[in-house]
Structure 1
Amino acid sequence: MRMDAFLTLFTILVSSPAVHAQSTDVAASDFDGSGRVDFLDFLDFSGAFGKTSEQDGFDAKFDLNGSATVDFSDFLIFANNFGKSTTEESGTFLYVSDIVQNRVEAVDISTNLSIPSRAFSVSFPRGLTLGPQAGLVYVANLDSLQAYDETGSFVFGIRLTEVENPVTGTPAAPSGFKVRVNAAETLAFVTETAAGAVEFIDLTTRTSLGQVAVGFDPGGMILSPDESTLYVGLRTDHIAVVDVPTRTKVDSIFTGTTAINKITLSTDGATLYTATATPDEGHASGSLIQIVAIDVASRAVVDSLQISDPVDLVDQVLELAANPAGGSLLVTLFKTAPAEEGSLNFATFVGELLVISLPNLELANTITIGEQAAGFGISPDGTTAFVSGSEELTSGVFSIFVVDLASGTRLSQLPIVIQSATEFIFQSTKQVIDQLSRLANILIVP
C-alpha cells in the first residue's frame, strides 16, 4: 500500500469521531481476534487495501461489504467499528490514572479489554476517585479538581486555592494530591502538599469552601463510617483529625515516630493503620519499618508488626490498604537487599505485596511482584489485587499485575501500557475473574 494512501486513511480514522457507513458485525473488523477493533487491525487492513479478488494475496475477510474489492467502502465500515469491543460491556470497570502519560484508562475487567470510550486525557492526574451518586470520575491534578462522565467527557473543573510560599512570599507551586468525596457526593476533599492542608469543595455549588491546615506533606485520607471525621496521613509523627461539619482540625493521633503519609481504616471503622520508620542503627537502612494499628476511640497505638529486614539496604512502604472483605491488610514493600555471587557483592531490588492478617497484625503471605511494587487496588469482593510494579527496573517497563489473594499467586498483567500508576479505584458489583493481563492509578465501576 502506498504511504500517501496509508496516511490518508489513518488521518480519516483518527480525526472523524463518527463515520457513518453500512453497519456490520463488529467481530468482522476484529481481524486479529483480539476482542477489540484497534490499531493492529488497522495495520492489517491497510496492508490489504486496494486488492481485488483477482489478485494474489486477496483475503476476503478484509472485503467487509462483499464487493470483491477491498476499497474505501470497506474502510468506512471498519472506521465505524474502530475502538469497539466484540463483546458487550459487563458493567464492571477499572479506571487507572497514568501520571506520566497524562491519561486515565478504563478496562472491562470481565473481558480483559480496554474501553476507549471511557478513557480520557487529563494533565498530571495525581488522585482519582468515583462519585457514588452521579458516577463521575473525580481527578485531582496540580491546580484543580476535575470531573469526567462515563463517556470520558469533561463535566467541570474547580481551581484549587493558591497559597504563598512562606519564605519567598510568592505563590507556591500548586500541589493537589489525593481526592475523596462523601457518599452524598456533595463534598470533595483534596490534600495539597505545598499548603499542608486539605481543601473542602462544595460539589453542589462547585466552589471551594477553604483550606484546613493539617501538617507536613498530607497524603492519604479516609472518612469515618459516619463521615463526620476525616483522618489525614502526614509525613510526620501524627495523623491529623479533622471535624467535617466545622471544617476544623480538632486532634492529632501520635504514631510514636515518623509515618508515611498513607493511611487506611478497618472495615468496622475502629482501627487505623499506617507505616512508620524508626531510626535504628541495627538496620543497614538506618530505619526499622513497622506497620502500626491505632485504636480510633482511645487514639493509642495498640499493635505493631516489623516488616523490615535488618540486612536490607533500603526498605520503603509505598501503599497500604485494608481488604474491603475484611480480615487482612495489604502492603507494598520495595526493598534493596545485599547479594553476592562468587566474589562479587551487589544489591538486588525486590518489590513485594505483603498480606497481613487482622485483627492481630501477623504476616500471612509475601507475594513477589518483581523488582518494584508500588500503588495497588483491591477488588470490591476482596479476592484480587491489582499491583503497579516492574519485573525489571532497568527495562523501564511498568505494568499492573493481577494477584489472586486466595492462592497468593501473581496471575497476569493488565493489557494496557502504564508509565506510572498513582492510585487504584474500583466500582463493581460483579466478581473479578483471573484472566486479566498491563496499567497505572486504578478505579473499578459497575
Structure 2
Amino acid sequence: MPPIHSHPAVLSRLASASAAPVPVRNGPAPDPASRHAWRVSTGRAPRLALRTLAASVLALAGWVPLGAQAQTVYVSSEKDHKIHVMDAAGKLQSSIGVCQRPRDLKPSPDRTRLYVVCGDSNQLGVIDRASGKQIDSVKLGDSPELLDLSPDGKTAYVTIEDESVLAAYDLASKKPLFKIKTGGEPEGVLITPDGKTAYVTSEDANVVHVIDLAARKVVKDIKAGQRPRRFALSPDGKELWVSNELGASVSVIDTGSQSVKATLEFKIAGLRASDITPVGVTMTRDGQTAWVSLGRANQVAEVDVASRQVRRTVLAGKRAWGLALSPDEAVLYVTNGLSDDMTLIDTRQGKAIRTVAAGRVPHTPLVLVR
C-alpha cells in the first residue's frame, strides 16, 4: 500500500477540496444558526469535513471499513487447538485454548457463548465469550464434522462422520437425544428457521438428506453434485444452495418441491475443473449475492443469485474454504487451510484488502459484534 499521504483516493479528495473557490461573506456577522446555514450552503463546514475526511483516511490506512471497530472475528485453528480472536482488520487480540482439532463454530442465540466442534477429541467445546475461556464440553460421537443449533439454542445437531449419522444433543444436560442414519461421510447440516427440518449432505452418497426432526427420519434424498459439502439458505427460505466439491458446482434446491432446480458450474481460465473445489457458501441478507469459496482454485466467486451468473472471482490464499461476512457485509473473511492465513476481501470493490496469519490450518471464521 502506498503511504497514506500519497494514496490516489486521498490525493483526489484533497485536491478537490483545495481547488474549490472560497466565497466571501460581507456585512455584519450573522447569528449562529444563520452562520451554520451559510457554511453548509457554501461548502464551508471545515471541521465536519475534516473529521469526515480524517475518518476515511484512517479507515483506508488501516484497511478497516468505517463502523467495523465493534466487530470480533473468531477463527478456529485445527492444528493449534485454539480459537484465535481478532479485530475487524485481522489483528490478533488473544487466543482461546479449546479441545483437540477445533473446526466448525456457532454462537448461542444470545451471543454470550460459542460452540466449537472438535474432531480429534470428539467433543463440543463451550466457550464463554466474556472470559475468553472454554468452560464446558459435550461428549460427541467419533469424528464429528459440522454443527447447527435449534432456533431456541437448546439442541445441537452434529454430523458424525465415522458413524454416518446426524446426532442431536441436549446442551443443558449434555446428553445425546437421538441419532439419524445418513449416507457415508455426512458433513453439512442446516436446521430450518422453524426448527422442523434438517438438511444434511452425504459426501459419499452425493445426496442431500431431508430430515423430519419430529419424526426423526429421512423423508427424502435429493441427488446433488459430486461430494456435496455445505449450505446457504436464501433469506426467503425458498432456495437452498449446496456446494459440490468434486463437481466444481453449486446445486440450487427448491425447498418447496425439494428438488434441484438449477446447477451453477464454475469455470476459471487456466484451471482444470478438478482444481475448482467449492466448499464454503454464504449469502447476503438481501438474497441478491452469494459468495462461494473455490478451494484448490485459491479463489472465491461472487455470484448474482437471480441470474446465477458469476460476477467476478477474487484471489485468496491456498485452499480457500471457510467464509464469513462482516455484519455490514462490506468485508468477506476467507480462511485458507493450506497457507495458514485468512484473506479479507472488500466486497464492494471485489478486491483482497489484506491477508493475515490465522494459525495452523484455520477452518471456520465467525464474525460477531462485541
| 1:193-227 Cα shifts (integer Å, max 9, x gaps) | 01111110111222110211121111111121212
| 1:384-424 Cα shifts (integer Å, max 9, x gaps) | 1111238xx7xxx421110011110100134x442212112
Contact persistence 1:270–1:296 (CA under 8 A): yes
Q: How does 1:205-220 map to 2 (within 5 A)?
A: 205-220=173-188
C-alpha change, 1:276 and 1:400, in structure 2 (3 Å) is closer
Instruction: Give 5+ residue unaligned stretches, structure 1.
Output: 1-88, 162-173, 278-286, 336-349, 429-445
| 1:350-394 Cα shifts (integer Å, max 9, x gaps) | 41110011123111111112454222212233221111238xx7x
Q: Number of matched residues?
A: 297
User: Quick check: 1:187 aligned with 2:155?
Assistant: yes
Question: Deviation of residue 112 (structure 1)?
Answer: 5.0
Q: How does 1:418-433 map to 2 (within 5 A)?
A: 418-428=359-369
Q: Distance in 2 between matches of 1:121 and 1:371?
A: 25
The TM-score normalised by the length of structure 2 is: 0.74
User: Quick check: 1:104 aligned with 2:76?
Assistant: no
Q: Which residue of 2 aligns with 1:333?
A: 294
SS of 1:275's partner is strand
Q: Distance in 1 between matches of 2:201 and 2:133?
A: 32
Q: Which residue of 1 aligns with 2:139?
A: 159
Contact persistence 1:324–1:380 (CA under 8 A): no
C-alpha change, 1:154 and 1:288, in structure 2 (3 Å) is closer
SS of 2:112's partner is coil
Q: Distance in 2 between matches of 1:351 and 1:179?
A: 25
Q: How does 1:241-280 map to 2 (within 5 A)?
A: 241-255=210-224, 257-276=225-244
C-alpha change, 1:389 and 1:160, in structure 2 (3 Å) is closer
Q: Which residue of 1 aligns with 2:312?
A: 365
Question: Deviation of residue 113 (structure 1)?
Answer: 4.0
2:354 maps to a residue whose letter is: S
1:407 maps to a residue whose letter is: Q
Question: Deviation of residue 90 (structure 1)?
Answer: 5.2
What percent identity do the matched residue pairs reach?
20
Q: Distance in 2 between matches of 1:267 and 1:402?
A: 24
The TM-score normalised by the length of structure 1 is: 0.62
2:327 to 355, 380, 384: 380
Instruction: Give 5+ residue unaligned stretches, structure 2.
Output: 1-67
C-alpha change, 1:417 and 1:425, in structure 2 (3 Å) is closer
Contact persistence 2:187–2:229 (CA under 8 A): yes
Q: Which residue of 2 aligns with 1:292?
A: 251
Q: Which residue of 2 aligns with 1:133?
A: 110
Q: Distance in 2 between matches of 1:96 and 1:199?
A: 24
Structure 1 moving runs of 4+ over 4 Å: none
1:145 to 103, 124, 137: 124
Q: Distance in 2 between matches of 1:250 and 1:314?
A: 34
Question: Deviation of residue 323 (structure 1)?
Answer: 2.5
C-alpha change, 1:212 and 1:152, in structure 2 (3 Å) is same
Q: CA RMSD in A?
A: 2.4
User: Quick check: 1:303 aligned with 2:245?
Assistant: no
Contact persistence 1:133–1:184 (CA under 8 A): no
